[in-house]
């Protein structure tokens, strides 16, 4: 005999909070006792209120979804204006305005977000890491639990606005008497005054502290990546919910590798003779020392790819590549014997007066880069 509150509001089971609120407001306007005083309508009005009270609260909604009774039997469900009832939403339904301006405002406000910069080296950003971060933040005052009032005392109802949080004023104008209201100057709109502030937090409800938090930084983040840690920011005034903490990643430049996305690029210089005859190099990659084969006849600008030796892809499997750009060094300062040998070689190859090959612009560079990506 559990009620189906989704049916009561006429929304789908997977309706968003926004859809639920809209459906509720539409029905509340239709069924409000001031509009429609007959008993059947009033009964229905109570039901939509109960449905909204449950479905607008994620915890109660989950309980309802699992077939439980979020009211725990007490109050029988159609409680209407219970303690947790979102009165402001009904004001919204009628006046179409945010009712925040009406009635006393809460002392509790959401805490601010905070951002801290985290410097990582390439191996840390590429493969992920765990960091202990020290953050200066505000936490709930344990003495007053956020209320701001000294132990054993309570905020007193403001005697200027009598708890309303606003004061009204009647002024005469050519339209006649006009009533305006403004936030109460004595209590600042809170409707209450803290006469004996908590000594620990001076009435703010929170204290500043230095906290150490351990965070896991996922593999594949890069310079400028923001990581959101929900609820790790500072607690709000008056015991309000905490804001979020954002980590901004700053990547330290690597002495050898330049990172482009998930790929790493570097340049290796080899002598002309080694490029012609082929050679083998030892290179320190992020995975340790690797043997690199330079094939005989390697050209300057050619790219030697090491597949899957780049950084880890963020939130994906697989890694980028490591691309080694070869730069062939032409020998300089030849001694007599070396020059003799080179002249001999150019004679043997018929290269004493080479015509040269002309190619448009950067074409050669780009096609070689493409070859490297295609695995040739």
Answer yes or no whether residue 144 interacts with Zn ion by CB under 5 A. Answer: yes
Q: Which of 120, 141, 286, 294 binds Zn ion (CB under 5 A)?
A: 141
235 binds Zn ion, rule: CB under 5 A? no
143 touches Zn ion (CB under 5 A): yes
Asked if residue 108 binds Zn ion (CB under 5 A), the reply is: no
Residue of the chain from 51, 78, 187, 311 that contacts Zn ion (CB under 5 A): 187
Min CB(160)–Zn ion separation in Å? 5
* Region from 108-116, 131-139, 141-149, 221-229 binding Zn ion, contact rule CB under 5 A: 141-149
Going by C-alpha positions, the residue among 35, 34, 33, 57 that lies closest to residue 44 is 33
Among 266, 264, 267, 249, smallest CA distance to 312 is for: 264
Residue ranges in 331-360 that form contacts with Zn ion under rule CB under 5 A:
none
Q: Which two tokens stand for residue 191?
A: 């409707």
Reading across the β-sheet that carries 322-329, which strands appear in turn? 258-260, 263-271, 322-329, 303-306
- Min dist CB 87 to Zn ion, Å, is 19
By CB under 5 A, name the one of 120, 161, 217, 323 that touches Zn ion. 161
Shortest Cβ 240–Zn ion spacing (Å)? 14
Q: Give the shortest CB-200-to-Zn ion separation in angstroms.
A: 4
Cβ–Cβ under 8 Å, residues 280 and 291: yes
Residue 162 · residue 192 · CB < 8 Å: no
Q: Does 201 bind Zn ion (CB under 5 A)?
A: yes
**Least separation in angstroms between CB 166 and Zn ion:** 8
Size of the site for Zn ion (CB under 5 A): 12
d(CA 277, CA 295) in angstroms, rounded, equals 8
d(CA 88, CA 102): 9
Give least dist CB 187 to Zn ion, A: 3
Stretch that binds Zn ion, among 31-39, 47-55, 193-201, 353-361 (CB under 5 A): 193-201
- Asked if 194 interacts with Zn ion (CB under 5 A), we say no
Q: Residue numbers of the site for Zn ion (CB under 5 A)?
A: 141, 143-144, 158, 160-161, 184, 186-187, 198, 200-201
């Amino acid at each position: 005999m559990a009620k189906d509150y989704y049916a009561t509001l006429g929304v789908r089971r997977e309706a968003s909070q926004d859809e639920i609120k809209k459906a509720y407001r539409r029905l509340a306007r239709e069924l409000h006792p001031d509009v429609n005083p007959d008993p059947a309508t009033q009964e229905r009005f109570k039901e939509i209120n109960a449905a909204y009270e449950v479905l607008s609260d994620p915890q109660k909604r989950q309980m309802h979804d699992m077939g439980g009774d979020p009211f725990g039997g007490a109050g029988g469900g159609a409680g209407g204006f219970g303690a947790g009832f979102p009165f402001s939403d009904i004001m919204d339904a009628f006046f179409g305005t945010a009712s925040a301006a009406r009635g006393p405002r809460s002392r509790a406000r959401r805490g601010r977000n905070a951002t801290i910069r985290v410097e990582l080296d390439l191996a840390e950003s590429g493969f992920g890491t765990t960091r202990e971060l020290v953050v200066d933040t505000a936490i709930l005052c344990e003495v007053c639990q956020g209320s701001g009032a000294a132990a054993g005392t309570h905020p007193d109802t403001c005697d200027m606005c009598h708890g309303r949080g606003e004061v009204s004023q009647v002024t005469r104008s050519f339209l006649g008497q006009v009533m305006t209201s403004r936030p109460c100057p004595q209590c600042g709109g809170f409707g209450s005054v803290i006469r004996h502030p908590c000594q620990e937090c001076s009435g703010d409800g929170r204290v500043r502290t230095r906290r150490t938090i351990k965070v896991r930084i996922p593999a594949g983040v890069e310079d400028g990546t923001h990581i959101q840690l929900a609820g790790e920011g500072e607690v709000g005034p008056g015991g309000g919910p905490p804001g979020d903490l954002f980590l901004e990643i700053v990547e330290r430049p690597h002495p050898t590798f330049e990172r482009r996305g998930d790929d790493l690029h570097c340049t290796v210089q080899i002598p002309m003779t080694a490029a012609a005859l082929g050679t083998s190099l030892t290179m320190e990659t992020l995975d340790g020392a690797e043997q690199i084969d330079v094939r005989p006849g390697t050209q300057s600008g050619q790219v030697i790819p090491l597949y899957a030796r780049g950084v880890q892809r963020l939130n994906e499997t697989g890694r980028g590549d490591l691309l080694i750009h070869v730069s062939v060094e032409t020998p300089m300062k030849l001694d007599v014997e070396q020059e003799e040998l080179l002249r001999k070689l150019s004679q043997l190859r018929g290269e004493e007066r080479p015509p040269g090959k002309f190619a448009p612009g950067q074409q050669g560079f780009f096609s070689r880069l493409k070859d490297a990506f295609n695995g040739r």
